[in-house]
Chain A
């Protein structure tokens, strides 16, 4: 039976096609070619080598214009046979916050309006290490360490079973083969579900356009790490992906004046981190949540 009537299905199809055309016509006619390219840019993991190259070239030109400096943007992939782990000696941390500012400097964080830090140093009363709710991170004594306190720096713990990537509705954040949890800042829609999901407060949000003066900018960057970010993207510690994939210690490790911070490859039996795990009494934060952090706290002796 050949029914020539206009069916409901056809009606809905035509209506939605017309709506899509109607929406996209002003969208693409009113924006520049560059804005259109940004809008249609693919997810980092789905880009071909050619597309990555184009995106890098575009970003380099944009940063050159904005900061007046030539950037080196790396897209280096994870080195096979590596799984990065971190060690932190709580008996030696004096809470001086050198790591916090070294991190912000290395990773091109927004300095103010908003001020974004990837490391938060908690101060706890000695003897109440598990009492994280009553910790203080705005402490400001004339000198540190203070006798009755100990200091617990917290940053992204690079979980093996990260809660943040499970809640991301657009897969803008994922775990790399070397264990680093990274964000594609362009793909991030700024919903901040990951910030709510993270039990360590490891992620921060660009509430406004980041402020970064050209003379403070670090030009050696990684696409998934410390390249300058934009408004409404989430960012976090990546163990300095731009450094560790070339075999260099993270910035916080180099900045620490007491040698509290240790870093290494968990798969290399001769690495510093393996020495720590095998010989010291290590623990991880909130182990009961089954997030399997790769950040090991320990006490000397």
Chain B
């Protein structure tokens, strides 16, 4: 009798804990939609009927714009994308995560950046910091996962100098 109660109790606790932690995770990082090329997602639309080719190669038919510059000597597509469920990403331990939770995958290598991102230091948050909706940007919004180095930008024009006639009367 005691043993059954113990089992039921621990099961209940487990359920409560997992539900609350899942809720907390969802509340904690409300991210804007991942930056996908239009019409690409879900990936399984095309990949479902295709054979899995694990060979490292230059992509010629599709995804030709993807040139991997992200530790490419030790990595290939299926290290992060799951071979069976193409609509998911894959962590080291085999757990599948959605594209909206891709920060967990990035955080596996970039732990210190992930720590700062969770605190709101690395990356950007927009909207309301209190009393409203706050949106986080995913790692992939600023860093292309296949080529993560931040690209140089064209700067906005400099201010007019005081002598410029667009600044005076």
| Residues in A lying within 8 Å of B, measured CB to CB | 94-98, 100-101, 112-115, 117, 120, 137-145, 207-208, 246-249, 253-254, 256-259, 262-264, 271-272, 275-276, 280
Contact = CB atoms under 8 A, between A and B. Distances in A.
A98 B158 contact: no
B112 to A, nearest CB: 9
B94 interface: no
A247 B159 contact: no
Nearest to B120: A272
Contacts of A98: 156
Contacts of A97: 155-158
A208 B152 contact: no
A144 B129 contact: no
B128 A113 contact: no
B150 interface: yes
A231 to B, nearest CB: 11
Given A208-B169, A247-B129, A248-B132, A138 B158 contact: yes
Interface of B: 119-132, 137, 142, 150, 152-161, 166-169
A101 B156 CA distance: 8
B134 to A, nearest CB: 8
A114 B161 CA distance: 10
- Main secondary structure on A side of the interface with B: loop
B124 A144 contact: no
B150 A258 contact: yes
Contacts of B152: 94, 143-145
A136 to B, nearest CB: 9
A101 B157 CA distance: 9
Given A113-B167, A257-B142, A144 B155 contact: yes
A137 to B, nearest CB: 7
Contacts of B130: 247
25 contacts: A94-B152, A94-B153, A96-B153, A96-B154, A96-B155, A97-B156, A113-B169, A115-B159, A138-B159, A139-B155, A139-B158, A140-B157, A143-B152, A143-B155, A144-B154, A207-B169, A246-B131, A247-B130, A247-B131, A248-B127, A249-B126, A272-B119, A272-B125, A275-B121, A276-B121
B153 A112 contact: no
- Main secondary structure on B side of the interface with A: loop
A138 B156 contact: no
Given A113-B167, A113-B169, A259-B142, A143 B128 contact: no
A300 to B, nearest CB: 8
B125 A249 contact: yes
A115 B160 CA distance: 7
Nearest to A136: B158
B168 A257 contact: no
Instruction: Give the 3 A-B CB pairs with smallest separation, nearest first.
Output: A259-B124, A97-B156, A247-B131
B127 A249 contact: yes
B142 A258 contact: yes
A143 B156 contact: no
A114 B124 CA distance: 32
B168 to A, nearest CB: 7
Given A249-B125, A259-B142, A276-B121, A143 B154 contact: yes
A271 B153 CA distance: 30
Nearest to A89: B121
A249 B156 CA distance: 22
Contact of A112 (B119, B150, B156, B160): B160
Contacts of A137: 158-159
Given A144-B155, A247-B128, A115 B119 contact: no
